[in-house]
Each structure stands twice: as C-alpha cells, then as structure tokens.
Chains A and B, each alone.
Chain A
Amino acid sequence: MDSDERYRRLFRTALTIRLVEERIIELYPSDRIQSPVHLSIGQEAVAVGVCDALNVDDLVFATYRSHGFYIAKGGSLPKMFAELYGRVGGVSKGKAGSMHLSAPEVGLMGSSAVVASSIPHAVGAALSFKRRGSSRVAVAVFGDGATEEGVYHESLNFAALMKVPVLFLCEDNGLAVHSFKNARQSYNLLEHAKTFGIEARRLDEGWDMLAIRQATLDALSVVRAGRPFVLEIATGRYKEHVGVGDDFHFGYRNATDIDAWKARDPLLLDEKLVAELKPEIDREIAAAAEFAETSPFPGRDELLTDII
C-alpha cells in the first residue's frame, strides 16, 4: 500500500475519534448523555496506530477511556451514539454506556471501569488462542496508573510463564486522575517487564500514528511467535480525567504540559487534510446521533434481562 494512502486512512480514523468526542463535548450540556465520559482527545494516535496493525479477529480488552479504541477497531458509530444516549439501539441496549463500550464483532471485548481489571482477560484469551494453536493475539490496553495494581504484575508473570500471545499496551499519559507518575511509581516499566523475561519497548512519539503502527507490528511479530510484549507509548491527555472540560484552571497542571503534544498533533497541524475529510465524517456523526435520537429508551422489560 502507498504510504500516503496509509497515512490518510489512519488520519481519517483519528479525526473521526476527535470529531466524535468534540461532538460529545457539544452535546453534553443537553443531558442527552447521562453518564460519565472519559475523553481520549490527544490520545487518538495510540488507538489508531495499534488497531491498524491488528487483524479484525485479534482481540482488544480496554478501559473506561475507550472511545478511541472502539472507533479504531471498527465499532459502529450509530450503535456507539445510541449506547452513550442510553438507548436500546446501543451496543449494549444502553446498559453499558461510555465506560463499557464493546464491539465483539470486530474484536473489542469489553471495557472495564475498574483500573487494570481487564488486563488478565487479555492473558486468558491469549491462553485460549495458544491452546487452540491459533495465530490470533490479544491486546491488554491500560494506562500507566494500572501498572501499579497487583493484577498487572500477576498478569505479566503468568503470561511469561505460559508464553501466551498477548501484547501489553500501556498508554502513558503520565496521569492517574490528577496524580503524576513520579508520586506513584518507584519502578521503570521497561526494566520491570524485563525481569519477567518480557521484551519491552517505549515509544515517545505518541502523536505519530505511523510510528505507533510500525512499533505495534514489530511487537506483534514477537507476540505471534508466542511471547508476550510490553509496549509503552507516551501520550497526552488534553481534557480532564472525566467529563468534557479542560482542567488547567484547577492549577494541578499547566496548559504548557500539553502544548508540546499539541505542537506535534497531526490533527491540529494538517489543516488541509482535516478540511478535506471533515465534511464526510461530520455527516457520519450526524447520522449516528440521529439514529441515537430516534432509538427508544430501554423499558422495564430490560431491567431484569441478561443477568445470569
């Protein structure tokens, strides 16, 4: 494939994520979306680069900040909007909302709102793939804060022992809610992974979709050979931890912390390509929001279904 064409494809997906979330920001005061949203604005390149390197049947287990992974893995926009609106036309009939998006038909196997809790799920799916002799892989997506949880360490140890095809993907935005990494971590993530015999790599260019895609492909060549891999990608969270606003005015961090990311952000820099692609994406988003608007709310009959 022509590299320009590849760049356009990745750029379009990243722009879709950005425009979807900007639409969410506009809609939020209308109370159409009555649940917490954790925006991935600024982090789109990670989801896009990683998912582009995966096959459709490779599985991703993600977090409450997963609008990006949902869209990058190929999830339906109308079903996403209907889910955010709490409607029966949503992915999960409105029972999941933003924090529990999934699209199993394209390999997004669920998003958990308890930090680190979906990491071992990826290991378990990878274990099953190995048992079946499948070439599929599983990806555990988590933030830097999740690596402080015990289950991250349990998962690394077990994955290394059992030699399962799992990619541990750390989105390092340096923040756990409002806490900086230097207040939370006494270890170096790569060195830590290596003590388990797991290959690990950090990519600082978290704005560079093509570099992320290539780093993921390189990691997957190890993973598909049956060895886990830790890929840490630096990125920047532009918005507040939860909600649709900025949080610089609270004083715990400075806008300049994010300026370096914005200065490299292709979605801000490549205005020409944005102008070219935006109208069509806007139409897709409008259609998705319209679908959500017209989908009914789940009724009482849904309250007690699908429990067991």
Chain B
Amino acid sequence: MNVSSKERPSTQTRVLSYAGALLETMDSALADHPNVFIMGQGVDDFKGIFGSTTGLAQKYGAQRVFDVPLMEEGMTGVAIGAALVGDYPITTHIRADFSFLAMNQIVNLASKYRYMFGGIMSCPMLIRLVVGRSWGQGAQHSQSPQATFAHYPGLTVVMPSTSQAIVDMYPQIIVRHPGPVVSIEHRLLYNLDFSVSAGTPAKPIPLTSYVAREGRDVTVVATSVMVLEALRAAQYVAEKAGIEVEVIDLNSISHPDWELVIGSIRKTGRLVIADTSWLEYGVAGEVCRQVMMRDPAMLRQAPAMLGMAAAPCPTAKSLEDIYYPSQHETVEAILTQVCGSRHGIELPVERSMTEGYKRFRGPF
C-alpha cells in the first residue's frame, strides 16, 4: 500500500525511524481526534513502548494516555465498551505473545460485534502488538501471530514493514476504519531509519499489499522484517548474478491485494514466500492456496518457503541463529528458484541476521 515516490505530489523525502513514525502517528491521532485514547502496560512510562508513545501522556493528559493493570482480557474488553459508545481506543502489547491473554475479547467479541449484531453495532479500535526477535527472546517473547488473527473474519490484520507504511496506513486506520485492526509491529524494525516521503498521499491508500521492488525473474512475497531481508537479498543477487527479484510486501495479512500478488507470480513463474512466523497453517499456506485456486500452472516449479523452524523459539543464540531464516538462506532460496540448486553463485557470508540490525542490543 505504499505509494512509490513518483505517484506522490512531492518527491522530497525525510529520514524517520520506525519508532519515530509510530510516535508521530500516535501523536497526530490524539491531536486530530478527541475520541482517541491510548492504553496499555507502560504507555505512559519513560520507555513509552520502545519510544512509540513517549511524552504523549504529558502532552495529552492521563485521560487520553494511560497505564493499565496487568489485565489483557479486561483491557481489551474495556476498549470494546469504549468503542461501542464512540471512542477510539488504541491498545498496546509490548509482546504479541501477551495478546493471547486477550484472545477471548479479540476473537469472540471484537471480531464478531458488527456481524453478530447485524451491522447495528461496531467496535473500531487499533490493537498494536510488538513481535520480539533476537537477544534471547525465547519461546514466549517471539511469536508472530498474523496467521492466527487473520484466520478470524472480522479482524483486519496488518504488518507495517517500514516507517512509510506506518505514516501512510495508521491515519487510514485510526477512527476511519470501521472495525478492529490488529497491527503487528516488529521490534527489530523499531530502531531502523527509513526514508519517508515528505508529501502526503494524493488519495486515501487502501490497506493492502504493494510492490516493494520491481523485478522479472522471481517473486518474493514477504511480511514485516522479512521484506527488508528480501530486499537485501534482491540487491545481492542483482549485483552478483543480474537476477531481478520482485519483492511484494504483503502488508495487509487479512486483506492482501491478491491480484497484485498473483499478477507478479504469473509474470515471473517463480515464488519464494518469506514470513516472520511458522510455515505450517500460515501465510505461506495461504499464498499457495490462492495460487492453487486460480492456476497452479502459473508456477514453473515448486515454490520455496522461509519462516521460523517448526519449534518454539529457543533462547540460546546458537539455536536462535538457525531458528530464523538467514540472509544466506534467503539468497539461496532465490538463486535456486531462478538457476536451480547447482547455481554455482557465491553466497553471502553466513552470519546472524541480527548482525544486520546491530542497533538492537536488547535487553527487550
């Protein structure tokens, strides 16, 4: 859903970190909409959800930005009640894993309120989840539940991969989107700087997928931080082997632009899926389902899949490093799709992916 710079009224850019983009959109949501409030564990403390809400409680007051007890289900229920009477709540979970304590309210209530009551009620709200990775996040600070939430009709699930995605998308969601939205943010992205268009989009941007890099040889459908990994790999194979990778940022997990995705796969005939979660019953399976339903013959060969190993996340760095797909494996998957397994092309040095995100040194 990012709009490329050529479609923007202004070609000027500025540098904005992911956390900075979040803070900016939270700030303007509070400034623009008196019915917006933000609640979550620690939203008003000095760390401000990794810098994404810092200072907002001081600026807008404790009525608009406030801490809550440790009550994930209760907090989400409170948000639903407030939304039903016209407020717009933004809730936060500093790890996506903690949102599982709110599953009853998210899945049994929020996702169904509009449909179950025949359209006479709705509970629009934004639920922000932060996925952890690296620095020993372990089994319960590392889960990436996009497939879990996108499974349920009534929920809109997005995974912004850049600052641009946030500044484009959040103003479209907050107050304006009619239903509950689960946004899955990635901790590794928070401290990264991105180039962001200085102009505002000429027209409202749909919450859907976009082409992050154009190419003709192979399509990589990626989510969240794996979009960045795909773009790094694409640059590598372009330089080493002249291979042009088309990278699609799925961005909206619940409502992708399937025409865009399928159009790209038809064009290249080759597919790599790079997701931040498990492959089993997940985004990878859904992308393949969409291909199978339309025309399996659009693929010249079996697609490649990159995701977390089919285990809970281990804490030890030696295991964590092989638990997630590395840059090495991403490049290998792309080269094998295009040139076969005996491609003979030099691979990048095998190293921990998080070496590329050195600014994240923990602890959380």
Binding site for B on A (CB under 8 A): 59, 61, 90-96, 100, 102, 104, 109-110, 112, 114, 117-129, 131, 138, 150-151, 154-155, 157-158, 161, 305-308
From A102, A119, A157, B120 is in contact (CB under 8 Å) with A102
Q: Are A308 and B178 in contact (CB under 8 A)?
A: yes
Closest to B79 in A: A124
**Which of B70-78, B283-291, B296-304, B332-340 is the contact stretch?**
B70-78
* Complex: chain A residue closest to B177, CB-CB: A308
Contact B73 A154 (CB under 8 A): yes
CB of B241 within 8 Å of the partner chain:
no
Which of these, B74, B82, B84, B86, contacts A154 with CB under 8 Å? Answer: B74
Pairwise interchain contact B78-A158, C-beta atoms closer than 8 A:
yes
> Does chain A have a CB within 8 A of B109?
yes
A41, B179: Cα distance in complex, Å:
36
B residues touching A (Cβ–Cβ < 8 Å)?
Answer: 37, 63, 68-69, 71, 73-87, 89, 104-105, 108-109, 113-121, 153-154, 156, 177-179
Of the candidates A91, A114, A154, the one having the most CB atoms from chain B within 10 angstroms of its own CB is A154
B69 pairs with A154, CB closer than 8 A: yes
Given the interface pairs A110-B121, A128-B87, A131-B37, the reply to whether A100 lies near B116 with Cβ below 8 Å is yes
Pick from A90, A114, A120: contact of B108, CB under 8 Å: A114
Would you call A91 and B120 a contact (CB within 8 A)? yes
Residue in contact with B77 in the complex, picked from A90, A124, A129, CB distance below 8 Å: A124
Given A128-B86, A305-B119, A307-B114, are A120 and B69 neighbors across the interface (CB < 8 Å)?
A: no
The CA-CA distance from A114 to B338 in the complex, in Å, is 51
Interface centre among A119, A122, A306 (most CB of B within 10 A): A306
Query: Chain B residues with Cβ under 8 A from A161's Cβ?
Result: 69
Cross-chain contact A121 with B118 (CB below 8 angstroms): no
Q: Are A121 and B117 in contact (CB under 8 A)?
A: no
CA–CA, A91 and B69, complex, Å: 36
Residues of B contacting A154 with CB < 8 Å?
Answer: 69, 71, 73-75
Q: List 8 tightest A-B contacts by C-beta distance, closest first.
A: A124-B81, A120-B77, A92-B118, A154-B74, A306-B119, A121-B81, A124-B78, A154-B71
With a 10 A CB-CB cut-off, give which of B81, B87, B105, B117 has the most chain A CB atoms.
B81
Contact indicator A308/B179 (Cβ below 8 Å): yes
A95 pairs with B71, CB closer than 8 A: no
Q: Can you name 9 extra interface pairs (CB under 8 A) apart from A124-B85, A124-B89, A128-B86? A: A90-B118, A120-B74, A121-B77, A124-B78, A124-B80, A125-B81, A128-B87, A158-B74, A306-B118
Please, how many angstroms separate the alpha-carbon atoms of A123 and B85 in the complex? 12
Cα distance A129–B76 when bound, in Å? 17
Q: Are A110 and B84 interface neighbours, CB within 8 A?
A: yes
Residues of chain A lying within 8 A (CB to CB) of residue B116: 92, 95-96, 100
In the assembled complex, the CB of A148 is this many whole angstroms from the nearest CB of chain B, namely 14
Q: Which of A91, A102, A109, A110 has the most CB of B within 10 A?
A: A110
Contacting residues, chain B, for A61 (C-beta < 8 A): 81
Complex Cα–Cα for A131 and B62 (A): 10
Which residues from B are CB-within-8-Å of A91? 117-118, 120
Q: For the complex, what is the distance from the CA of A161 to the CA of B71, rounded to whole Å?
A: 13
Q: B81 and A117: CB pair below 8 A?
A: no
Q: How far apart sit A129 and B63, CA to CA, in the bound complex (Å)? A: 12
B82 touches A127 (CB 8 A): yes
**A114 CA / B105 CA spacing, docked (Å):** 10
* Min distance, Cβ B188 to any Cβ of chain A, angstroms: 30
Also in contact, A128 and B74, with CB within 8 A (given A117-B105, A306-B119)? no
Contact B120 A92 (CB under 8 A): yes
Which chain A residues lie closer than 8 Å to B117 at the CB level?
A: 91-92, 95-96, 100, 102, 110
Tell me if A109 and B156 are in contact (CB < 8 A): no
Chain B residues, CB < 8 A from A125: 81-82, 84-85
B321 CB, nearest partner CB in chain A, Å? 38
